[in-house]
Amino acid sequence: MSCRALLLLSLASAHVSAALDGSRYMWFTQPGRWPTFEEGMPIGNGRIGATIYGGGAEVVGINENSIWTGPFQDRTPLNATETEPLMIPNNNSPRAYSYFGNVNLDFGHPDEDMSDYVRWLYTKEGIAGVSYSMNGVNYTREYVASYPHGVLVARFKASRRGALNINATMTRIKDIKIPIEWTGEARFKSDTGMFNVSGSSLLIHNVTTLEMYFDAETNFRYTSRDAREKEMREKINNAYTLGYDAVRAAARISIARNTSADVQLTVLVFNFGRHLLVASSRNTDHATSLLANLQGKYTININIEMNYWPAGPTDLIETQEPLFDLMAVADVRGRSLAKRMYGCPGTVPCANDNYTASTMWPMGAAWLAWHMMDHYRFTGDTRFLREVAYPFFVNVAAFYECYTFPYQGYQVTGPSLSPENNFYVPADETVAGAAQSVNVAPAMDNQLMTEVKGHRAEAPFILRALMPGRQFSPLLNSTLGTAAEVLLDQCVSHGSGTTGWSRTWLINQYVRLFRGDDAWEQLTQWFAFQIDGNFGFVSGVTEMLLQSHAGIIHLLPALPSALPKGSVTGLVARSNFVVDIQWEAGKLVHANITSRAGGELQLRCMNGFSVAISGQGYTGPFRTKVGQKYVVTPV
């Protein structure tokens, strides 16, 4: 695939729309405007991230995922167990995610003098590039955040020998003060030209091809400066010795196992979302990896969870590993929080839960436990279930056994809340008609508790049991499914779904109700950049084509009429089945289902169409063989 990418880059930008596959490439015909993040092209390897703007004076914004605005911050209120108002943190300024700084590469080329300009992001391989001409010379740039090598690398080229000149510096916004310590270095390599130092600038003259190797390390992983610099230089030295081509070839592992043929912009956003997940969340081979975080904090009442909805279904399950690293850290701190805030054993990670602080929301542990269980459903990894998930489940169960209490014949939660919603005080209670955020037995809590063992909603939290949960699935409970449908329509009619993430949640909820056209209508109104929304978009499109949460591999459950013809390969169903699907005229042509674990296969096609499996009529669930491929065709 690398050769194809290079061939496409050689074409003039006048033909860019024909040259670059619009379902894989995000491309622009002018530079982005730094520092507007949405105009840059993000790349990353799970630890180091960069944003490429592509101007003549390029500013490469650099992230390192452990650079925060401070160390651990205990925000547990004093005397929190005495009364509910005291449970609110008295420090309302939690730590936030920060950034490393900028690598500035001034090429001396005014943006207005560039011609045949194109900058692009190749979502399949995670490579960003720039190409333009000036004064008869073609200039190209490529940027890669290498996962195996742990560095950011770049190559700059000129079509005329010795025509490339760069003034390289590093800067950072001066009024941001961070107590976290770090070290960063950019090393440049060329067989020609001259290198000179002038103050804080590295002046590079008369080169034809130039390579850059960058890394940054912090005291989150290496406590001493000597240890940080040693690790940083080892990574840079290894990549420098191998050279750009070798590092680029190995840059992206386990990405882009899907192909699709439907509406091009939708496919591009789908592929861009998968690129973002791989770029932001990888196991970095340290004791603790940090998870997908482009929001500034880890919000676990929907946002972090939505980030990982596509991980299993689009065969990127390994991107969830950093989430479980966070849960291991949060488990230890959550035990202290459970005791001091609720007077309970067990663990309770809360709403804004990260390596630096926690705040009140008692249901975070239940939702995160669900992610662990779903990870097992996709992988069948018994070691993970035994060694990672089960100890966490034990602590979660201990907390809820203490925290819940009997009320009107049920065991309920409280004090609790439904995120971003208020409750109205009944007429017979004080103060009647007032809106309050705290209540007992919120509907969302009940749904989460069921997974672990009527007010206006901006965010449809009350339908959590529809998506990502399964209690409201029409295939499992048609009565609850019908009720969820009525409530979802009511939420939408009252304005739900106005933000990026909440609209993509609506997309997912509509497809869970098999209403593909309504989901597509929400999808066409979404196109934006909001990171959890980007991941929710991928999940919604995936579940139009394949669902498995109800214990059934459901082919084309919510295919919208806007996609009458297409194909998808490499999706994954729970019980570890790999699924490829092709359809025409709105109906299944064939599907290939490959068993990776030898599990039981239960199948449904669209709204219940009869199918054959490898030529034999399907009559019910059966045990599969590991590695066996089963061909599904309509009868």
Q: Could you state, in order of their start, the residue ranges of all structural domains in the chain? A: 25-251, 298-308+317-459
Phi-psi region of 407 (alpha: psi -120 to 50; beta: other; left: phi over 0): beta
Task: List the single range of 162-176, 239-253, 369-383, 509-523 with lowest mean pLDDT.
Answer: 239-253
- Nearest residue to 577 via CA among 316, 379, 374: 379
- Nearest residue to 574 via CA among 305, 275, 373, 283: 373
- DSSP code per residue over 273-285: HHHHHHHH----S
Distance from C-alpha of 428 to C-alpha of 635, rounded to nearest angstrom: 60
Neighbours of 114 (CB within 10 A): 21
Flag whether pLDDT at 70 surpasses 80.
no
Residues 353-366 have a mean pLDDT of 63
More confident call, 261 vs 245? 245
Phi, psi of 504 (to 5 degrees): -70, -25
Paired residues of 51 in beta bridges? 42, 61
More confident call, 73 vs 8? 73
More confident call, 540 vs 306? 540
Residues 492-521 have a mean pLDDT of 88
* pLDDT at residue 111 in the model: 95
Flag whether pLDDT at 119 surpasses 50.
yes
Contact present, 171 and 222 (Cβ < 8 Å) = no
Cis peptide before 94 (omega within 30 of 0): no
Residue 132 host element (H or E): strand 127-134
* pLDDT at residue 593 in the model: 97
Q: What tokens does 504 get?
A: 């993509």
* pLDDT at residue 187 in the model: 94
Task: List the single range of 108-117, 309-318, 464-473 with lowest mean pLDDT.
Answer: 464-473
Q: Where are the alpha helices (DSSP H) in 477-607?
A: 478-493, 500-512, 516-524, 531-545
* pLDDT at residue 148 in the model: 87
Paired residues of 172 in beta bridges? none
* Alpha carbon 577 to its chain's center: 22
Q: What is the sign of the dihedral through the CA atoms of 9, 12, 15 and 17?
A: positive
Q: pLDDT band for position 17 (50/70/90)?
A: very low
Q: What tokens does 124 get?
A: 């399949």
Contact present, 119 and 69 (Cβ < 8 Å) = no
Flag whether pLDDT at 354 surpasses 90.
no
Pairing of strands 423-424, 127-134: unpaired
Pairing of strands 553-555, 603-605: parallel
Contact present, 353 and 76 (Cβ < 8 Å) = no
Residue 372 host element (H or E): helix 364-379
* pLDDT at residue 438 in the model: 76
**CATH code of the domain made up of 25-251:** 2.70.98.50
Each residue's pLDDT tens digit, 122-164: 998 899 999 999 999 999 999 999 988 999 999 999 999 999 9
* pLDDT at residue 15 in the model: 33
- DSSP code per residue over 31-55: ---TT-GGGSEEEE-SSEEEEE---
Distance from C-alpha of 547 to C-alpha of 519, rounded to nearest angstrom: 15
* pLDDT at residue 340 in the model: 84
Each residue's pLDDT tens digit, 168-181: 999 987 656 677 88
With a CB cutoff of 8 Å and minimum separation 6, the contacts of 131 are 9, 13, 116, 117, 118, 119, 138, 139, 140, 141
Total length of the chain: 635
Each residue's pLDDT tens digit, 565-618: 888 999 999 999 999 999 999 999 999 999 999 999 999 999 999 999 999 999
Q: pLDDT band for position 9 (50/70/90)?
A: very low
State which fold the 298-308+317-459 domain adopts.
Glycosyltransferase (1.50.10)
Residues 115-125 have a mean pLDDT of 93
User: pTM value?
Assistant: 0.87
